[in-house]
Amino acid sequence: MKKIRLGRTNLEVTRWGLGGIPLATGMGGKDEETIQQVLHAALDYGINFIDTSRVYMDSETNIGAVMKTRRKECILASKSHRRGYDEVLEDIEESLKELQTG
């Protein structure tokens, strides 16, 4: 699968990524098992960019369940809607915990 440079970084990501909203059971995702199957299928297909957010309910937790064994295969991105420095740091720590990568 063709990759492109992510912004100004040296990270190479696939043109196709996986968004986190449908990976949350409360935002369109069917159930945890189906969500994990989707994540595994995306990684098996070669997609290496997964985007989520702290506000996507259990999206980070569901992604983290797969990252326990496949973390090195992709680049994860998450967002915070908080604006204070300390608040954003709290969100980063929580995201790393939920994504099982920190």
Per-run averaged pLDDT (10 residues), the chain, 102 residues: 95 97 92 96 98 95 97 96 96 96 76
CATH value at residue 73 = 3.20.20.100
**H or E element that contains 93:** helix 85-98
Q: Which of 23, 47, 56, 76 is catalytic?
A: 56
CA-CA distances (angstroms) from residue 97 to 25, 44, 91, 102? Answer: 19, 24, 10, 6
- Residue 45 known to be catalytic: no
Q: Structural domain tally of the chain?
A: 1
Calculate what percentage of the chain has a pLDDT beyond 70: 99
**How do 18-19 and 3-5 pair as beta strands?**
unpaired
* Average pLDDT across the chain, whole number: 95
pLDDT tens for each residue of 48-67: 999 999 999 999 999 999 99
Total-model pTM: 0.92
Range of the domain at 37: 3-98
